[in-house]
Amino acid sequence: MKPLLALVGRPNVGKSTLFNRLVGRRLALVEDLPGVTRDRHYADISWAGRELSLVDTGGFVPAGSDDVLEGVRAQAEIAVETCDVVLFLVDGRTGTVAADLELAALLRKSGKPVLVVVNKLDHPPAADAGAAEFYQLGFPEVFPVSAEHALGIDALLDAVLVHLPPVTDERAPDSDEVDDAIRVAIIGRPNVGKSTLVNALLGEERQLAGPVPGTTRDPIDTELVHAGRRIVLTDTAGIRKKRAMAERVERVSILGALRSVDRSDIAVLVLDGTEPGVEQDARLAGMVEEKGRALVVLVNKWDLVSKDGRKQEEFREVLKWQLRFVAYAPILFGSALQGRQVGKVLDVAVQLFDQFRFRSPTPMLNRLLQKVVDAHPAPSDRGRPLRFYYITQVADSPPTFALTCNRPRSVTQAYRRYLTNQLREALALRVPLHLVFRERPGHSSPAPRKRQRT
């Protein structure tokens, strides 16, 4: 599981701006108003060869504030409890304020490594002087940065690496043997039947299940053997919209459930067939896709909906449209309570695991690439042709392919989707595929010619 960094600070100190800077793209909503960030935002980043997870929290506010701001405070506290390193953001322009001192006291109690990040110091010569007063917060490491102008970011990330735990693979055993277990995370909103599904798959009442939402609080691993394959099922806490969470312990367990997807191969997203079109289901599917994990969608409680096969196909088409960004994922229908069709979940999980670790010979891939490009040539870039030379698979889990071409930056999102879909169809894969576009060694795209004044 990737180490987790938490961005924590009072409202309007620039956490979302720093988050976007570290991630390299604009994911978090940024607005010059306190409290804009309500929920946590997650993303994966890489620095010096180390893979990390980053969480942007809502602004920390003093206890006793209104309900919305108090919820934001709780979100920040959750992130601190579950992270490996805290990036404590303060505003270098306003200086230390009471809310910074209160948050510093909370962070000292956490026992986590804390790096004080003094943001909005846009003039390097005066940055160190501007950061000096923040040593009074009681932490030895203080870093002046400008998230907006990308100043001081490299030094900050280098310091983060010093505090991270050693690199480990939680999916590998302590022995020298290769871990061939298929790790399956059961996720979904509260009360959709996740624990009941686990019990049905195990054939016994192994997990506590009941009609009350939030029965499962901590991720629970259970091992079984199916079709000669070892499978580890992880039953996770129900994941609901953050603003709907009432108990603090539930909020903590939900972050653990999200992180359990990190150490899984496959996620089974359980939907409630009696509540179609729930927005949170799409969010969870998107999270799995972003993490690059294989996905199975199980429409549970189908016995309460219909026994008409035509109704099922209509539901499937609607669901494919709602989850079109993961349209490749298998969709199953069943009833965990009655044990109907749930065995297919394990059958499909085994199939997807083999596809997740799929390896393809390079000659076959190159023949396929030539066929695909001939059928639909890449669009030119301002009259300059985009040419592909060869393709090779560089990784699995998920399958990742490197395509060498003359102008990697000219590959449009539409053509990337076309290549991805053609590869998935030709290779019969129903798992995420990653494409990496590289420039041929020794070839560099000419700089655009400047217009001559007339």
Q: Which CATH number fits domain 182-356: 2.40.30.10, 3.40.50.300, 3.40.50.620, 2.60.40.420?
A: 3.40.50.300
pLDDT digits (tens, 9 = 90+) for 100-113: 998 898 888 888 99
Q: Strand 114-119 relative to strand 85-91: parallel, antiparallel, unpaired?
A: parallel
Domain 362-439, what fold? GMP Synthetase; Chain A, domain 3 (3.30.300)
| pLDDT of residue 252 exceeding 50 | no
Q: What are the start-end ranges of the H helices in 24-169?
A: 67-82, 98-110, 124-131, 153-162
- What mean pLDDT is predicted for residues 39-58? 77
Cα 340-345-349 angle, rounded to 5 deg = 170
> Please, what sign has the CA dihedral across residues 329, 333, 339, 341?
negative
- What mean pLDDT is predicted for residues 417-436? 95
| pLDDT of residue 121 exceeding 70 | yes
The secondary structure of 251-297 as a DSSP string is: HHHHHHHHHHTTT-SEEEEEEETTSTT-HHHHHHHHHHHHTT-EEEE
| pLDDT of residue 388 exceeding 80 | yes
Query: If you ran DSSP here, which 8-state letter would residue 134 be given?
Result: G
Residues near 284 by Cβ (< 8 Å), separated by ≥ 6?
187, 188, 189, 239, 269
Pick from 23, 140, 20, 38: which is nearest to 88 by CA?
140
- What mean pLDDT is predicted for residues 236-250? 49
Which residues on adjacent β-strands are paired with residue 294? 266
Hey, what's the torsion of the CAs at 27, 31, 33, 34, to 10 degrees?
20
Cβ-based burial of 7 (10 A; exposed 0-12, middle 13-18, buried ≥19): buried
Give the CA count within 13 Å in the CB-facing half-sphere of 211.
1
Q: Strand 220-226 relative to strand 50-56: parallel, antiparallel, unpaired?
A: unpaired
Cα 216-254-83 angle, rounded to 5 deg = 130
Residue predicted with more confidence, 107 or 245: 107
- What band does 56 get if pLDDT is binned at 50, 70 and 90? confident
CATH 3.40.50.300 residue spans of the chain: 4-162, 182-356
Residue 341: predicted pLDDT: 85
| pLDDT of residue 192 exceeding 60 | yes
- What mean pLDDT is predicted for residues 39-68? 70
| pLDDT of residue 242 exceeding 60 | no
Residue predicted with more confidence, 86 or 244: 86
CATH 3.30.300.20 residue spans of the chain: 362-439
Query: How many C-beta atoms surround the C-beta of residue 129 within 10 A?
Result: 11
Q: Which CATH number fits domain 4-162: 1.10.10.10, 3.30.465.10, 3.40.50.150, 3.40.50.300?
A: 3.40.50.300
Residue 145: predicted pLDDT: 95
